[in-house]
Structure 1
Amino acid sequence: MAVQLQVRFITKQRKYAVPNTPFTVPSSVGSNELNSLINELLKGNDPEKCYREIDFDFLVYGEVLRVPLSDHLEEHSISSEVTVDVEYFERVPAPEPHDCLLHDDWVSAVQVRDGWILSGCYDNTLHLWTAKGKHQLTIPGHTGPVKAVAWVTHDDMLATFVSASHDQTAMLWEWNVSTNAVECIHVCRGHERGLECAGVSPCQSRMATGGWDTHLKIWSADIHEKSNEGRESVSKRLKTEHGMSQVRTPLMTLKGHKEAISAVQWTDTSEICTASWDHTLRLWDTVIGGIKSEIVGNKSFFDASWSPLSGMLITASADKHIRLYDPRSNEGSLVKSTFTSHTQWVQSVRWSTIEDHLFISGSYDQQVKLWDSRSPKAPLFDLTGHDGKVLCCDWSKPELIVSGGSDNTLRIFHSNQHK
């Protein structure tokens, strides 16, 4: 006789609530059978007979159910004698391919803001596109591959953004949206080797850059702020393809990493998280100008993304794995979860901005993957299309998942998140 289990169904999506009395189910039940059971219960609650079936996922002891329930309980050392709480929620819909934007070289940087896409290329250029895929501008100026881009401000009339390059500079740009004219206002000089990353503070007044000289540098992101004495060097003017640009120097240089800084992200107005090839993640205090804490990994970090919704960090590494860290936790293992599906090194990771469990990853295996942090065994979806290494990805705009690669394309998927 098959072993039976007692389960109680719970949900935070109240419109899908069912009675919370325990149900008896076979221990071999999986997510498909539970999905059918919940839909039958909901259908019985619909007197109008116009119920449409919903696809649900199931959370049992903090992890999405991907195996038979009895195996799941055994993995978590849970007795089959207890009543098991099974939380269910509407399954994330599959993202849909939307567009493919062609570039002249590798696409190594991308960020979306409102209805605009900003991309950076290995041919030293920046590109502005509409979210619908129309090319707006090609922006020359750098003399090396562009490795990072970030929007600073944006409204209907004016926008400012920063680009960071292997030419050892970051450039602050002003774009007149109405006339479609762009100008480099400041060239940020101070790094001694190529840059890999750039991040803008939540208040939009500061930005940070990192690269191969191992230094984290803080700059003013206000294009109209005048240079002050007391910074690291005196400002001067530099003639660029866009006229006379002001040379901007750092407000602060923070030293501590031993190899290249691969990712930088502000966690609040005075705290920055960095990832490095030296196997460490660091939290920096920009008020005191020093390190607050450090997490030591066992592989080089190629990218990291911090979620303001959950406070958690995800990281990309050369060993094909994505790891989840709690940078403020002093309890238990430093690595909270490991996500394994990519077959080559993982180059880029980004959290969803509206859903605290969802993130994307891009890898040299030509794949972009969409994950739920509660489901480390397998991604929710593989987003295929690239014919070369995926070098960057972005999910700043909830509706759009974008990725760039060595196939000279920027690929766009439509995301149908529930929130």
Structure 2
Amino acid sequence: MAGKSTQTDVPQIQIRLVTKQLQYAVPDYPLSIPASVFVSELNNLVNELLKESGNVSKEVEFDFLVCSEFLRTSLLEHIRERGISVEDVIDIEYIEKHPPPEPQDCLIHDDWVSAVAVCERWILAGCYDNTLHLWTAKGKHHLTIPGHTSPIKAVAWISLDEENGTFVSASQDQTAIIWKWNVESNSVESIHTCKGHERGLEAVGINTTSNLMATGAWDTMLKIWSTSLHDENEDGESFSKRQKTDCSKTRVPVRTMKGHKEAISGVVWSNKTEVITSSWDHTLKIWDTELGGIKHELTGNKSFFDLDYSNLSRTIITASADRHIRLYDPRSTEGAVVKTIFTSHTQWVQALHWSTTEDHLFMSGAYDNNVKLWDTRSPKAPLFDLSGHEDKVLSCNWSNPKFLVSGGADNTVRIFKSKCAVK
């Protein structure tokens, strides 16, 4: 019975095995097991029960959720940490373990790769030698794009169809450039140079309707710009043909917003009018771009180097100088706004990106040369370490669910193929 000690002084505990993956369901009556079990023993138990039921013929590897967190220690240690009695019947939810991403290609550049963005099968990379590069996800180089006069720190796709793509690059040369790419002829032209920042740009983000972009820079300013390819003045009217000289390629911001005290390191839109920024001034700010003001502020105790927002979980993850990743719930009205701290990187965390299809999964890259794949239900250890970079990881992207992509100071872009577990 639960709570009785065996001769070896390990208490027995009663558990109930439950799953949302119906193809792996086993009877949910209570079972009595030693409280000292680890994941491997629970795996054996579930697989034995599945064999008995005749539902599954091959071994399946599972992860086990106890109190909404993955089991990474013995069951006894896990429940004691959470103040749960060994007398209770413990519900253990099991889900098929996420398969490890497979290393695919290594795309070699001439300098540090400080920015990457993926759209469908295309990878856009920005480098410290001032150039942009277009690659296929299969590792074929398509185009080198000069134009900036200083390192590129951020890139983003605006739109893409079979005929044309548009994207933006943000540089330490104090400009962002909007580019139009003719896919068929594989030619690119610079459509607009966005000028207004007084120091180098660090971040760029496109809103959910792709008609606006936001940039953050070392001048502490957040600027909002139109992404339209047409020349417009501030009233939205087209310039006359007479005025369409090279100067009309210069675009001014729609709005400039002040509030940060140090460099803005990350910019992400949570909807078509709301921007969230991270800064070296230890704060995150949520802005209303229509009213031009700060709606909400979250304060940390270290400089923030990057952030990302999940439309699935409506939460924010941040990268910091203290090696930790933090998950914030900006809607939280009770308790701490930091809901979880993820600890595993051994140096500065520089880049983050949520999965666009799985609300628990995200990736990170750090100065310890590592890319990690995380599940928010496993804060003490990532699901996987994705090794390969031989120097600092500076950027990462997971916009295409099939590929985790990272860029680093080893002059490479690394592609890892993501395989989804069975639902």
TM-score w.r.t. length of structure 1:
0.95
SS of the aligned residue for 2:78 comes to helix
Match of 1:305 in 2: 308
Is the alpha carbon distance of 1:299 and 1:353 closer, same or farther for their aligned partners in structure 2, counting shifts above 3 Å? Answer: same
Deviation at 1:229, TM superposition (A): 4.6
Match of 1:345 in 2: 348
Is the alpha carbon distance of 1:413 and 1:285 closer, same or farther for their aligned partners in structure 2, counting shifts above 3 Å? Answer: same
Match of 1:25 in 2: 33
SS of the aligned residue for 2:50 comes to helix
How do residues 2-81 of structure 1 correspond to structure 2 at under 5 angstroms?
A: 2-46=10-54, 51-81=57-87
Match of 1:326 in 2: 329
The amino acid of 2:297's aligned partner reads E
Deviation at 1:228, TM superposition (A): 2.5
Find 1:204's aligned residue among 198, 206, 210. Answer: 210
Q: Does 1:316 align with 2:319?
A: yes
Match of 1:128 in 2: 134
In structure 1, stretches of 5+ residues that fail to align are none
For 1:7 and 1:156, locate their aligned partners in 2 and report how far apart those are by CA, in whole Å.
54
Question: Root-mean-square deviation (CA), in Å?
Answer: 1.5
Is the alpha carbon distance of 1:410 and 1:237 closer, same or farther for their aligned partners in structure 2, counting shifts above 3 Å? Answer: farther
SS of the aligned residue for 1:203 comes to coil
Find 1:267's aligned residue among 242, 247, 270. Answer: 270
Deviation at 1:43, TM superposition (A): 1.2
Match of 1:140 in 2: 146
Match of 1:407 in 2: 410
For 2:272 and 2:18, locate their aligned partners in 1 and report how far apart those are by CA, in whole Å.
38
Is the alpha carbon distance of 1:312 and 1:93 closer, same or farther for their aligned partners in structure 2, counting shifts above 3 Å? Answer: same
Is the alpha carbon distance of 1:238 and 1:26 closer, same or farther for their aligned partners in structure 2, counting shifts above 3 Å? Answer: farther
Deviation at 1:245, TM superposition (A): 6.3
Is 118-127 or 21-30 further displaced after alignment?
21-30
SS of the aligned residue for 1:104 comes to coil
Give CA deviations for 1:22-50 in whole Å, capped at 9, x if unaligned.
11111001111111111111111117xx6
For 2:129 and 2:100, locate their aligned partners in 1 and report how far apart those are by CA, in whole Å.
33
Identity, in percent, stands at: 61
For 2:88 and 2:340, locate their aligned partners in 1 and report how far apart those are by CA, in whole Å.
26
Give CA deviations for 1:26-77 in whole Å, capped at 9, x if unaligned.
1001111111111111111117xx6111110001001100011110011011
Deviation at 1:230, TM superposition (A): 9.1
Deviation at 1:219, TM superposition (A): 0.4
Deviation at 1:334, TM superposition (A): 2.0
Match of 1:336 in 2: 339
The amino acid of 1:313's aligned partner reads I
Q: Tell me if the contact between 2:305 and 2:319 (Cα under 8 Å) persists in the aligned partners.
A: yes
Match of 1:90 in 2: 96
TM-score w.r.t. length of structure 2:
0.94
The amino acid of 1:44's aligned partner reads E
For 1:258 and 1:26, locate their aligned partners in 2 and report how far apart those are by CA, in whole Å.
55
For 1:81 and 1:186, locate their aligned partners in 2 and report how far apart those are by CA, in whole Å.
67
Match of 2:3 in 1: none
Find 2:390's aligned residue among 387, 404, 412. Answer: 387
Q: Tell me if the contact between 1:187 and 1:245 (Cα under 8 Å) persists in the aligned partners.
A: no
For 1:348 and 1:237, locate their aligned partners in 2 and report how far apart those are by CA, in whole Å.
39
Q: Tell me if the contact between 2:231 and 2:249 (Cα under 8 Å) persists in the aligned partners.
A: no
Deviation at 1:20, TM superposition (A): 1.3
For 2:400 and 2:330, locate their aligned partners in 1 and report how far apart those are by CA, in whole Å.
25
Find 1:177's aligned residue among 183, 187, 209. Answer: 183
Q: Tell me if the contact between 1:206 and 1:218 (Cα under 8 Å) persists in the aligned partners.
A: yes
The amino acid of 1:416's aligned partner reads K
Q: Tell me if the contact between 1:367 and 1:383 (Cα under 8 Å) persists in the aligned partners.
A: yes
For 1:6 and 1:225, locate their aligned partners in 2 and report how far apart those are by CA, in whole Å.
69
Paired positions, count: 409
Deviation at 1:328, TM superposition (A): 1.2
Give CA deviations for 1:127-157 in whole Å, capped at 9, x if unaligned.
0001100000000000010000000000010
SS of the aligned residue for 1:84 comes to strand
In structure 2, stretches of 5+ residues that fail to align are 1-5, 238-242
